[in-house]
Amino acid sequence: MYAIVKTGGKQYKAAKDDVLIVEKIKGEPGAAVELGEVVLVVDGDKTSVGAPHVKGALVKGEIVRQAKSKKIEAFNYKAKKNERKRWGHRQQYTHVRITDIQAGK
């Protein structure tokens, strides 16, 4: 059994005991989290497709850790203008272990 779940503007395939790396979700490691925007649920040969979400479907998980990705560095400059700009960004992520998938209707 697996489900396609939407969180942080992206879609992820979630099966029991998988660890997903998703956009930051508030919470401490060990806290329970529910992902309610379930787009698709496949249970054996039975498939439920949502329009836009599957009614009653729910994916439960547990936060494993909060982390940051590698730093992305960028640099802009314009020749002959003495104009230079440098910046960086580190995206924050949450590691979520899927504990249960409820199929809904």
The answer to whether residue 79 sits within a structural domain is no
Domain for residue 88, yes or no?
no
In a domain, 77, yes or no: no
Is residue 53 situated within a structural domain? yes
Is residue 73 a part of any domain in this protein?
no
Domain range for 57 is: 2-66+94-102
pTM for this predicted structure: 0.82
| Neighbour tally for 38: CB within 10 Å | 24
**How many domains, the chain?**
1
pLDDT tens per residue across span 32-89: 999 989 999 998 899 989 888 999 999 999 999 999 999 999 999 999 999 999 999 9
Residue 12 counted as domain residue: yes
- Is 89 within 8 Å of 75 (Cβ atoms)? no
The answer as to whether 11 is a domain residue is yes
CA angle in degrees (0–180, nearest 5) for 36-39-40: 115
